[in-house]
Amino acid sequence: MYETSIDGFSIRHAVPSDVPLVLQFIRDLAEYEKLAHEVVISEQDLHCHLFGAEKKAEVLIAEHCQAPVGFALYFHNFSTFLGRPGIYLEDLFVSPHHRGKGYGKALLTCLASIAVSRDCGRLEWAVLDWNQPAIDFYEALGASAMKGWIINRVTGVALTEMAEKFEGI
């Protein structure tokens, strides 16, 4: 558990019994981002990816007086330029009625501390271009927008079709 300077506040790694909570945070974030229709993961799949034999991601849970207020879901990537692992923050969310109290900052700085302790070369994430409050928040913490980089994604049928092209090589 990671204690912070905020009275009654702590951050801990998620445990298997947190899966329903994590899924609810994911749904709440998707609703905020106007992407709720894209959430298709089940509790069973989430449990498998967070706590299965081949763990794919990790989650930090922020709590105030032992009540959950937010989460951060992250995983390791690798920088060939740095020759070191990094951490990619997939999701950061603080419940609306708990925002502005330092919980998001605590989650991000905790994640930065984890990155440093694991000898990672960087911590990175994406933010929707319309989410100016989040952009301002990240910049205030020292983050730099990666101008000139465009995220590419292949998913669903397009992913399957791309994979099938490999079979023909």
Give catalytic residues, as residue numbers: 138
Q: How far apart are CA 162 and CA 169, in angstroms?
A: 12
Q: In what order do the strands lie in the sheet with 58-64?
A: 2-3, 9-13, 58-64, 67-79, 84-94, 123-125
Q: Mapping DSSP to helix (H, G, I), strand (E, B) and coil, where does residue 13 land? A: strand
Structure tokens at 8: 């009654």
Handedness of CA 14, 18, 23, 28 (dihedral sign): negative
